[in-house]
A and B are shown apart, each in its own frame.
Chain A
Amino acid sequence: MKLPLLAIIVAATAAGEVLAAMGMRRHGEIRDFRPGALGRAASLLTRNRFVIGYVAAMAVSFFAFMRLLTISNLSYAVPVTAVTYALETVMAKYVLKEHVNWLRWAGAGLVICGVTLVSL
């Protein structure tokens, strides 16, 4: 039961994060943090289809994660979801066209190895 739940969490989280990055890039940098400006930004974002997709994907990921928490410990559930790092870094390069230089690959690699060790 753990592995199918993990697959759902990884796929939904990776797709959601990429959609969020696309949606927020389209929206542009948030510079004004006053409540009124944040409210206007939130209102705009509710009509952003990438952000809607992100929320839907994260809802799927969240409920799968809740289920995983009922059958495993937090110290297992949180680290193993780090598998998404590799998938998301690849998607950042090829889908979002980000400049992922060797330092970022190395950093992502160190984090993935570190998270694996922490979860063992």
Chain B
Amino acid sequence: MSSETARLRAKTWTCATVVVLSNVLGNFFLKRGMPADLPTPLAYVAALFQPWAALGVVLLITWMLSRMTLLSWADLSYVLPVTSVGYVLVALEGKLLLHEEISLKRWAGILLIMAGVALVGGATSVQTPRRGGEPAP
């Protein structure tokens, strides 16, 4: 593996970690701060200023910016499976924080997601060769 490949992979995995964690925690806090009913459009805006929902929004803005940063060098078809590890964390979050049961079907799903992440993340290049640019590692 060349040093450029190693640099790009390390940068990709660091940024992907930020993308995944900010998304999982952002959705969690948004749900926690969301009222049971949103009857008017103004209620949507007001809901965003509830402390837990506001924290969720800040984390989801972090998610959006870190995802954009990641897409500045990595292919969308690479980023999609690699960041899907967030679904696994949502399931584990349900078990650990909300004490939900994880069924056998769910564990099978988690294994399939992890296999997909490993396949794309470990065995394919981060980016397609760009016209006039450096070759893909």
B-contacting residues of A (Cβ < 8 Å)? 17-18, 20-21, 23-25, 27-30, 45, 51, 54-55, 58, 62-63, 66-67, 69-70, 74-75, 78-79, 82, 85, 88-89, 91-93, 96-101, 103-104, 106-111, 113-120
Specify the chain A residue showing the minimal Cβ separation from B85: A111
| Chain B contacts with A in 104-131, Cβ cutoff 8 A | 105-106, 108-117, 119-120, 123-124, 128-130
Can you list 20 A-B pairs with a CB-CB distance of less than 8 A? A21-B76, A25-B71, A74-B27, A74-B31, A75-B90, A75-B94, A75-B100, A78-B27, A85-B81, A96-B75, A98-B77, A99-B75, A104-B120, A107-B81, A109-B116, A111-B112, A111-B117, A114-B111, A118-B105, A118-B109
Q: Which residues of B contact A119 (CB under 8 A)?
A: 109
Chain A: interface secondary structure?
helix
A51 (CB) vs chain B CBs: closest residue:
B68
> Of all chain A residues, which has the CB nearest B119?
A107
- Contact flag A92-B116 (CB < 8 Å), given A107-B81, A117-B105: no
Determine the residue in chain A with the shortest Cβ distance to B69. A30
Ranked 10 nearest A-B pairs via Cβ: A117-B109, A114-B112, A110-B116, A107-B120, A114-B113, A118-B109, A111-B116, A92-B77, A29-B73, A107-B119
| Interface 0/1 of B42-65, CB less than 8 Å to A | 001001000000000000100010
